[in-house]
Structure 1
């Protein structure tokens, strides 16, 4: 059996961490992915994120447990 001489798309290379993907999404496409539980945000900032999420997508499902 011969070894593959190329890497198919999506395989190999370096996997980016989630914050790097979010940062690149913001810088390149103007997309913002923010967790409502992000500890880097102040309470008013987290509340704003929650309100925007509810306005755009509706209320979150309740967590069980």
Structure 2
């Protein structure tokens, strides 16, 4: 039997104001504040060697992507 309090809960929070941060700003803040780097291999600001380095780092740290079929092994 379901708990009656669950049916009264709101799933959309109300009273929260503010604006959503730009994804690039979130990544920038992560770099400056935590030393974390979130990079897309498809980022047009990167040159081919830079994109390849990102792929190699990702494969080394987390293994190959499903779409790569083993690219970067070793």
Q: Name the TM tier (shorter chain).
A: 0.7 to 0.9
Q: Which residue of 2 aligns with 1:26?
A: 31
Between structure 1 and structure 2, the one with the greater Rg is 2
Q: SS at 1:22's partner residue?
A: helix
TM-score (structure 1 length as normaliser): 0.78
Give the superposed CA RMSD.
1.7
In the superposition, the TM-score normalised over structure 2's length comes to 0.69
Structure 2 residues not aligned, in runs of 5+: 1-14, 69-74
Query: Which structure has greater helix proportion?
Result: 2
Number of aligned residues: 55
SS at match of 2:67: coil
Moved over 4 A (4+): none
Cα deviation digits, residues 4-46 of structure 1 (max 9, x gap): xxx4xxx321110100000000000000000011110000000
